[in-house]
Amino acid sequence: MSESEFERKVFTERKKKIEQIVALGQRAYPNSFATTHTLAAIRSRYDNATAEDLETARTSVAVSGRLMAIRQQGKAGFAQLQQGGVKLQIYVRKDAVGDQGFELYKLLDIGDHIGVSGYLFRTRTGELTVHVETITFLSKAMLALPEKYHGLADVELRYRQRYVDLFMNTALNEGTPAEINVRDVFVKRAKVLAAMRHYFDQRGYIEVETPMMQPVAGGAAAKPFTTHHNALDLDLFLRIAPELYLKRLVVGGLDRVYEINRNFRNEGISTQHNPEFTMLEFYQAYANYHDLMDLTEELIKFVAMEVNGKLTTNFNDVEIDLGKWERLSMRDAIIKWWPDYFGASPTMEELSDEQKLATRLADAHEIARSQPNKSQEQLNTFGIFVPIEMDLRDRRKSLGHIIAELFELLAEEHLIQPTIIYDFPLAVSPLSKQKPDEPDWVERFEFYIGGFELGNAFSELNDPEEQRKRFEMQLAERERGDEEAHQMDEDYVRALSYGLPPTAGEGIGIDRLTMVLTGAKSIRDVILFPLLRPHKKTEAESAE
RNA sequence: GAGCCCGUAGCUCAGUAGGUAGAGCAACGCCCUUUUAAGGCGUGGGUCCUGGGUUCGAAUCCCAGCGGGCUCACCA
C-alpha cells in the first residue's frame, strides 16, 4: 500500500487517539458488543412512533454501527450511525454520558465503529434519535473516508476498493445517484439467486455442482483459461460451461438438475462481459424447447416479483415489461428488422436457401452502396454487412453461420422488451436437436431483454452417432482456424450411448439478469470484484 | 484488438491566449448543549498519472507509456 504524507499523518494521529481511548478505560479492538436491536429493526419499529409515544414508553436500546457523520456542538453533538444499509442518528451530551464518555466522544472519527446505549426520542426537527447514555468504542477507521456528500464517484476506485464503495454509496447518501446504490444492487443479486433456487427446488430439481476444472472445455463456443494440476501432471481448462456434465447426470437418472456457478471465458471485457460470470443451467428430462419457453417466462416473472415486487424495470431509460413476451423465429426477426436501407426484406424462403440468400444479399449490398447520403448508423451497419455478404458469396461460411450473423447485426439491438428468438441454424448449434421437418435447423431459442442475450436453451441432441458427427464438424472448423469451435468429447458421446432421454436444457446469465432487474448499465456494477488490470507496482513496493 | 474521452490534495472538483496551483468536504487547533451536506475563526496538506520533448518558463502544447471510462469488433 502506497501512502501519501496525508494518509501517514492521519494514521499516526489516529494511533495516538487509540492510545487516549485506551487510557479512558476502553479496549482498542474489543471482541464483541451486545446490541438489543439492529438499526434496521429500530427504524422499522419506531419510524412511526411520535415524540409522545417515545416519551411515555421509554425505549432503551443498545445499537452499534459505523459513524458516517459527526456534528459537534460544544458540550453536545449529533452523529449518524450506519449499519446494515440503514442509518440512525445519535445525540450525545456531556451531562448524559459524563466527562469520560464525552472525552471518548471527542476522540471519535468519521468511519469509526461504536456501540451506544440509551433511549429513543425525537429531536426538535422530528428525527428519530438515540439519546446516548454510554458509548463503547469498537474499532477505528485509520484512514479518512471519501467526501461525505458525493461519496466515492471514481469508477475505478469503486471497483478496486469495493469495501469503501459499499459503505459510502448507499441510497441513504443524498448525493448518491440511484444507479450506484451499490449495497442495494448486491442485495438484489442475492435475491435473484435465492428466488431461482426456490423456483427450481419447488419443482423437483436438485442442485448439483459439476467440475470447474475440466480436461475438455465443452458446452459452449469460447476460448478457455488453462491451468495445470501438478500431482497428476495434467493440463486442465477452467470450464466455459457445465452443460456436458449436467447432461451426463440426466443420463444417470437425475431427471431435473440445476447448477448456479461460475463460468470462465478467456475473451474480451465489456459492459456485458466479465471473464468470470455466473450462469444458471438447468436440464429437464422429457421436456422440449417449447416447454422451456413457457418455463423461462414464468421463471423471469417469478424472479422479478421476488426481487423487485413488480414486473416492470427501468433499463437504459426504457421501461421494460417482464410480463409481456414476444416470440419470433430467428428468420422472422431478420425479416422484421431488415432495414429499408437494404431494400425490401428477404422472404422466409430466401433465408432458408444458400443460393437465394446470396443473390438477395448481393442485391442489398448494391442498393445500400448506391445510396448517396449514409448516416453514421448506416455506415456502421454496412461495414459489418459487407464481410458477411462476401463470406457467403465466396462460400467461406455456411448459410447457418450467415443467418446467425445477420440476426446479430440487424435484430439483436432491437430486442429491448422480452423476446424469445427460436429456431437456430444447425451449423451454430452443435449440441441441439434438429427440427423434425427442417433438418438444417434446430430446436433452440435464446431470449433477449434490454438489447442483449440473457439465456440460451434447446432440445438436447441425444443421438450419440449424430453427436459424434457434430463434433467432427466442429473439429473441421477448428482446423480452419476457428479457435472457439467445440472440441471432441469422447466420454460425452459414450454417456449419450447409454441413452439420454428426450431432454431440454437452458442457461441463463445471472449477471445480466441482475443488470436488467437493477438497471445497472455495466456488468461490473453487478459483480462485487470485477477483473481489473493490476496497477503496476513501483520498484520500491515490489522489493517489499 | 480499434477509435474517442479522462487522470490536479484522502474524496468531489475548479484551474489553457504556457508565467512554477485553488475551493468544498475530510484532517488538525479553537468556539458552539436539538444539529442533519450543521455553523464560525484559524492551520496544515500536492512527484498536477509516469517518462521524454518544445520553451527563458509546462498542470496547460507535442510524443511515448501506465491506469480507467465509453463506443465498436468477438462473445454470454
Are A243 and A388 in a shared domain? no
Average pLDDT over every residue of A307-311: 96
- The interface pTM score, or ipTM, of the predicted complex is 0.90
End residue of a domain, out of A112, A139, A166:
A139
Average pLDDT over every residue of A148-154: 89
- Please state whether strand B lies within 7 Å of residue A512 at its CB atom: yes
* pLDDT tens for each residue of A317-355: 889 999 999 999 999 999 999 988 888 999 999 999 999
- What is the number of domains present in chain A? 4
The confidence score (pLDDT) of residue A373 equals 73
Are A103 and A119 in a shared domain? yes
Are A314 and A462 in a shared domain? yes
The confidence score (pLDDT) of residue A479 equals 84
The pLDDT-based confidence of A303 (bands split at 50, 70, 90) is very high
The confidence score (pLDDT) of residue A312 equals 95
- Please state whether strand B lies within 7 Å of residue A7 at its CB atom: yes
Q: Which of residues 246-285 of A touch strand B (CB under 7 A)?
A: 265, 267-268, 270-275, 277
* pLDDT tens for each residue of A74-93: 999 999 999 999 999 999 99
Question: Residue A111: left if φ>0, alpha if ψ -120 to 50, beta else—which one?
Answer: left
Residue A540, in any domain of the structure: no
The confidence score (pLDDT) of residue A413 equals 87
Of A46-60, A172-186, A200-214, A404-418, the least confident: A172-186
For the cut 50, the answer to whether the pLDDT of residue A543 exceeds it is no
The confidence score (pLDDT) of residue A421 equals 96
Question: Residue A248: left if φ>0, alpha if ψ -120 to 50, beta else—which one?
Answer: alpha
For the cut 60, the answer to whether the pLDDT of residue A164 exceeds it is yes
* pLDDT tens for each residue of A89-107: 999 999 999 999 999 999 9
Percent of chain A with pLDDT strictly greater than 70: 96
Are A285 and A307 in a shared domain? yes
- Please state whether strand B lies within 7 Å of residue A394 at its CB atom: no
Are A304 and A251 in a shared domain? yes
Nucleotides of B under 7 A from a protein CB: 1, 9-13, 24-28, 31-39, 44-47, 66-76
Q: What angle do CA A344, A348, A351 make, to 5 degrees?
A: 85
Are A300 and A369 in a shared domain? no
Average pLDDT over every residue of A280-305: 97
Are A309 and A344 in a shared domain? no
The confidence score (pLDDT) of residue A215 equals 92
Are A437 and A358 in a shared domain? no
Residue A160, in any domain of the structure: yes
The CATH number given to whatever domain includes residue A314 is 3.30.930.10
Place of cell 477507521: A141
Q: Which of residues 35-64 of A touch strand B (CB under 7 A)?
A: none
Residue A385, in any domain of the structure: yes
Residue A535, in any domain of the structure: no
- Please state whether strand B lies within 7 Å of residue A392 at its CB atom: no
Give the strands of the sheet with A226-229, arranged side by side.
Answer: A213-214, A234-238, A226-229
The pLDDT-based confidence of A175 (bands split at 50, 70, 90) is low
Helix (H) or strand (E) holding A51: helix A51-56
Residue A536, in any domain of the structure: no
Q: The domain containing residue A61 runs over which residues?
A: 3-139
The closest of A52, A69, A73, A42 to A121, measured between CA atoms, is: A52
* pLDDT tens for each residue of A463-481: 999 999 999 998 988 888 7
- Please state whether strand B lies within 7 Å of residue A174 at its CB atom: yes
Q: What angle do CA A509, A534, A260 make, to 5 degrees?
A: 20
Of all nucleotides in the shown strands, which has a C1' nearest the CA of A509? B76
Distance A293 CA to B45 C1' (A): 62
Are A369 and A424 in a shared domain? no
Residue A537, in any domain of the structure: no
The confidence score (pLDDT) of residue A179 equals 54
Are A30 and A108 in a shared domain? yes
Are A215 and A319 in a shared domain? yes
Are A522 and A442 in a shared domain? yes
The confidence score (pLDDT) of residue A540 equals 37
